[in-house]
Copies of this chain bind each other. A is one copy, B any other.
């Protein structure tokens, strides 16, 4: 099984964290590839940065998906996920969606621990968009500058752990999600140090993607997640055009 993980940010250091945790989490026989967005920002905290990341992710997915069994949008907030689910012929998930699926199996009230104050509003809207707002006990976040995005979890591990403790004690969290690709692997490092189950987006996404490939639930051929109707388009990369008009792609081959 080959799994494509797309980092919608331009940070190679974060791609490295994603790759490492994905490989630790994968089942035997699963191959992981991680691609980094060719354009965008260092890490997405806002709706505007997310729309850039969504487009970059879509271009990479269009170009590369054909050689993979499943695709993961490897940023918490899942930029572009809904659209890619329509357009790609393989299963696709994202870190938030996958983390919520895991958390849902471990407790009712979920707290998300995040790396910046600013990122919280966007995360909240994404959780709400999945109809799971009532499951959210809280979002708590670091309130200090990040000296390097790839080093957040090393630099702030104790502060992040303290936020998780407070979410359990003050907000009633029954499960903790350590949010954001920059925290990939932190749940593993903190194993046994937190009083409730801890979920990591990257490992959750890898395992759920494997399960989707294994269970073969079938693709959407009707309804709102089937491929977009073919219609005129302009100014797109050939790979994007091919996603929008698979027949054209078939003819071109």
A residues touching B (Cβ–Cβ < 8 Å)?
10, 25, 27, 38-43, 45-52, 54-55, 58, 80, 82-87, 91, 93, 97-98, 100-102, 104-109, 116, 118, 120-122, 125, 128-132, 134-135, 168-169, 172-175, 187, 191-192, 194-200, 203-204, 207-208, 211-212, 214-226, 228-229, 231-236, 240, 243-244
Which chain B residue has the least Cβ–Cβ distance from A232?
A: B42
Task: Please tell me if the beta carbons of B235 and A10 are within 8 angstroms of each other in the complex.
Answer: yes
Contact partner, A224, options B101, B121, B191, Cβ 8 Å: B121
| A72 CB, nearest partner CB in chain B, Å | 11
Which chain B residue has the least Cβ–Cβ distance from A215?
A: B203
| A169 CB, nearest partner CB in chain B, Å | 7
Write out the residue numbers on chain B whose beta carbons fall within 8 Å of the beta carbon of A225.
106-108, 174, 196
Q: A50-B83, A55-B51, A208-B211 are in contact. Are A174 and B220 (CB under 8 A)?
A: yes
Q: A107-B223, A122-B224, A228-B45 are in contact. Are A236 and B39 (CB under 8 A)?
A: yes
Q: A38-B235, A191-B218 are in contact. Are A45 and B229 (CB under 8 A)?
A: yes
Task: Please tell me if the beta carbons of B224 and A84 are within 8 angstroms of each other in the complex.
Answer: no
Q: A10-B234, A196-B225, A224-B46 are in contact. Are A97 and B105 (CB under 8 A)?
A: yes
Write out the residue numbers on chain B whose beta carbons fall within 8 Å of the beta carbon of A47.
82-83, 85-86, 224
Q: A39-B236, A203-B215, A235-B38 are in contact. Are A169 and B222 (CB under 8 A)?
A: yes
Contact partner, A86, options B48, B134, B192, Cβ 8 Å: B48
Write out the residue numbers on chain B whose beta carbons fall within 8 Å of the beta carbon of A187.
217
